Amino acid sequence: MTGRLIVFEGGEGSGKSTQAARIAADRNALLTRQPGGTEVGASIRELLLSTNTVGLSARAEALLMAADRAQHVEELIAPTLQSGRDVVCDRYFGSSIAYQGAGRGLGAEAVLPLSLFAVDGVLPDLVVLLDVPADIGLARSVGDVDRFEAQDLAFHETVRASFLEQADANATWVVVDATGSLEQVATAVDAALGSLS
């Protein structure tokens, strides 16, 4: 029996990392993130998120995200699932469709085939979208901002709209209102995961 792939998606400050870590601990699952998750991915993550990276074209950004994801799936996610253990991933290709497809204006029709090529058939069993208005999410962000957090509010509103469109179009997605307290969000996430025993 293969493990389940549970993905957390959402904009900046939505609480993805907190909920992903909690669910991974509860299920004794492997917790990982994109970009990153592997040694190669860590280098790509630094390039993608660093505010010192300037002049990176939207297409190059999308290709780097796909390269990170391909390495991540082959090296870590697929073998773990094949061993029978669940994987909880903080972001997957829904983020590429939202950030590079919508936010950068490349279009989902360009980014989705690239993303599907990268994951080589490894699709999520469940995607939990933690939804929060962009201005509220950005206000929650603390510390130094990365290249994506530094984008203007309109960019983040476009990203949020894409996430909601994806959720509306995909039966494996569940939307959780992430504006409530940590406990309220956790209860809603637990209910969303109820179907994955």
Half-sphere exposure of 8 (CA within 13 A, CB side): 30
Sequence length of the chain is 197
Read off the pLDDT of residues 114-123 as tens digits, 9 standing for 90 and up: 999 999 999 9
Q: What share of the chain is helix, strand, coil (3-state, %, to 5)?
A: 55, 10, 30
| pLDDT tops 90 at residue 143 | no
Q: Per-residue pLDDT tens for 38-59?
A: 999 999 999 999 999 999 999 9
**What are the distances in angstroms from CA 2 to CA 120, 125, 147?**
16, 11, 36
| Model confidence band, residue 195 (pLDDT cutoffs 50, 70, 90) | confident
How do beta strands 87-90 and 30-33 pair? Answer: parallel
Distances (CA, A) of 125 to 15, 45, 134: 20, 25, 26
Q: What is the CATH number of domain 5-195?
A: 3.40.50.300
What is the C-alpha to C-alpha distance for residues 124 and 20, in angstroms, rounded to an integer? 14
154 dihedral zone (left: phi>0; alpha: psi -120 to 50; beta): alpha
d(CA 144, CA 103): 21
Percent of the chain topping pLDDT 90: 87
With a CB cutoff of 8 Å and minimum separation 6, the contacts of 83 are: 3
Q: Spell out the domain ranges in the chain.
A: 5-195
pLDDT at 197: 59
H or E element, residue 130: strand 126-131
Residue 172, sorted as left (phi over 0), alpha (psi -120 to 50) or beta, turns out to be: alpha
Q: Encode 40-62 in three state secondary structure.
A: HHHHHHHHHHCCCCCCCCHHHHH
